[in-house]
Amino acid sequence: MDSKEFKKLRKKLNKTQKQMGQLLGVSLKAVHSYEQDARNIPAHVERQMFFLLSRMNGNPKGRKPCWIIKKCPPDTKLQCPTWEFRAGELCFFINGTICCGDACKGWKEKMKFCRSCEVFKSFL
């Protein structure tokens, strides 16, 4: 996540910088730094932003889980933590998913993959 995306998502959440800091558990100065590109946005802050965004409109009924959208075969579903925890609307939030064939090594690698996925894009 870069500074422009952080600011865009904060505004989409309709939060001031101070409110965003409180929600994220960081200082107002940190939020300023993120938006001015003076400080890298940590993975835990990025995750929290995406989680808040995913909950912005509640949990809309009718949202299909990722395994249906991606047409995952049964053997893939059984290996995936998203299937195990029935969190198909939050697959981008859970580490260890195997959407790209194997579990990603870390958050940055996962988000690189998720950003091209229709499940993730539906929240932006």
**Residue 105: DSSP 8-state:** S
* Segments of the chain with pLDDT less than 70: 57-62
Please tell me the CATH code under which domain 3-55 is placed. Answer: 1.10.260.40
pLDDT reported for residue 56:
79
Cβ-contact 29, 39 below 8 angstroms: no
**Domain range summary for the chain, segments of one domain joined by +:** 3-55, 66-121
